[in-house]
Amino acid sequence: MRRRMIIMAGAPVIAGALALSACSSGGSKGGGGGGGKPTYTIGFQGPLTGPNAQLGINIDWGVKLAVQQANAKGDLPFTLKVKEADDQGDPAKGPTAAQQLIGDSSVIGVVGPTFSGATKAAEPLFTQAGMASVSASATNSSLTDPANGFKTFFRIVPPDSAQGLSAADYMTKVLKVKSVYLIDDKSDYGVGLAGNIKSQLTANGVQVTGDSVAAGTNDYSAVATKVANSGAQAVYYAGYYADAAPLAKALKNTSFTGKAMSDDGTNDPKFIQLGGSASEGWQMTCPCLSATASSDEAAKKFVSDYTALANQPPGTYSPEGYDVTNTFIQVMKPLGSNVTRAKVVDGLRGVDYKGLTKQIKFQPNGEVTEKGIYVYEVKNSQITAIGTVDKLISG
Amino acid sequence: MCLTDHFWQFLVPGITLGSLYALIAIGYTLVYGVLQLINFAHSEVFMTGGFAGLFITQALVTTGVTPHGAQSVLYTVAGLLGGAFFGAVVAFLLERVAYRPLRRRNAPRLVYLITAIGASLFLFNLAGKLFGRDRTDIPELYHNGVVFTLFGAQVRVQQLVIIGTALAMMVLLDGVVHRTKLGSGIRAVAQDAQTASLMGVNINRVISQTFVIGGLLGGAAGFLFGTYLNVHYQMGFLPGIKAFAAAVLGGIGNIRGAMLGGLLLGIVESLSQSCMSSQWIDVVAFVVLILVLMFRPTGLLGQRLGRAA
Task: Spell out the domain ranges in chain B.
Answer: 27-133+142-241
- Does residue B2 contact residue A225 with C-beta atoms inside 8 Å? no
Size of chain A in residues = 395
Contact A319, A289 (CB under 8 A): yes
% of chain A at pLDDT higher than 90: 66
Per-residue pLDDT for A5 more than 80?
no
Residue A156 pLDDT class (50, 70, 90 cuts): very high
Does the beta-carbon distance from B273 to A222 stay under 8 Å?
A: yes
β-pairing, A107-111 vs A234-238, is: unpaired
ipTM summary value: 0.72
Work out the minimum CA distance from A226 to partner chain B, whole angstroms.
Answer: 7
Checking DSSP bridges between strand A259-262 and strand A283-286, what pairing results, if any?
A: parallel
**Strands laid side by side in the A153-155 sheet:** A79-86, A39-46, A107-111, A132-135, A153-155
Do residue A212 and residue B277 have CB atoms under 8 angstroms apart? yes
pLDDT band at A33 (very low <50, low <70, confident <90, very high): very low
Test B133 with A51 for CB contact under 8 angstroms.
Answer: yes
Q: What is the pLDDT of residue B304?
A: 61
A277 dihedral zone (left: phi>0; alpha: psi -120 to 50; beta): alpha
CA distance A266 to A46: 16
Distance from CA of A118 to the nearest CA of B (A): 20
Name, in order, each residue with C-beta under 8 angstroms of B295's C-beta and a sequence gap of 6 or more: none
Mean pLDDT score of chain B: 90
Q: Across the strands, what pairs with A86?
A: A46
Mean pLDDT of B113-132: 94
SS3 B297: coil
Among B2, B6, B142, B278, the residue to mutate for chain A (most A Cβ within 10 A)? B278
pLDDT tens for B2-21 read 777 788 888 998 999 999 99
CB A339 within 8 Å of CB A78: yes
CA distance A388 to A169: 12
Other CB atoms within 10 A of residue A381 CB: 14
Please determine, for residue B302, whether its predicted confidence score (pLDDT) is greater than 90. no
The distance from CA A135 to its chain's CA centroid, rounded to whole angstroms, is 6
Whether B173 contacts B213, CB under 8 Å: yes
* Mean pLDDT along residues B271-295: 84
pTM above 0.80, yes or no: no
Q: Which string of b and e fits A271-298 if b means at least 16 CB within 10 Å? A: bbbbbbebbbebbbbbbbbbbbebeeee
Count of helices and strands (H, E) across chain A: 13, 14
Name the packing angle between helices B7-35 and B255-275 (round to 10°): 150
pLDDT at B89 over 60: yes
Distance from CA of B276 to the nearest CA of A (A): 9
Average pLDDT of the residues in A146-173: 93
DSSP string, A290-352: -STT---HHHHHHHHHHHHHHSS---TTHHHHHHHHHHHHHHHGGGTT---HHHHHHHHHT--
Contact flag A277-B140 (C-beta cutoff 8 Å): yes
- Taking 70 as the threshold, does the pLDDT of residue A255 lie above it? yes
Segment holding B139, helix H or strand E: none
Residue ranges in B141-202 assigned as alpha helix (H): 157-179, 181-191, 193-198
Indicate the residue of B6, B269, B277 with minimum beta-carbon distance to A211. Answer: B277
Q: Nearest 5°: phi and psi at A326?
A: -65, -30
How far is the C-alpha of A105 from the C-alpha of A25, rounded, in Å?
7
**b/e per residue B67-103 (b: at least 16 CB within 10 A):** beeeebeebbebbbbbbbbbbbbbbbebbeebbeebe
- B58 at A interface, C-beta within 8 A: no
Could you tell me which residues come within 8 angstroms of residue B120 by beta carbon, excluding any fewer than 6 positions away?
B40, B41, B43, B44, B236, B240
Task: Indicate yes or no: CB of A246 within 8 angstroms of CB of B135.
Answer: yes
Chain A residue closest in CA terms to B11:
A222
User: How many Cα atoms are found within 13 Å in the side-chain-facing hemisphere of B69?
Assistant: 1
The pLDDT of residue A203 is above 60: yes
- pLDDT of A31 > 60? The answer is no
Instruction: Please state which of the ranges A184-198, B81-95, B279-293 shows the lowest mean pLDDT.
Output: B279-293
CA proximity to A264, closest of A59, A49, A48: A59
Strand partners, A80: A40
pLDDT digits (tens, 9 = 90+) for A360-376: 999 999 999 988 899 99
The residue among B202, B145, B158 whose CA lies nearest residue B12 is B158
B13, B238, B269 member nearest A225 (Cβ): B13
Residues of A with CB under 8 A from a CB of B: 49-51, 53, 186, 211-214, 217-219, 221-223, 225-226, 228-229, 242, 245-246, 249, 253-255, 270, 274, 276-277
Cβ distance B279 to A186 less than 8 Å, yes or no, reads yes
CA distance A347 to A330: 9
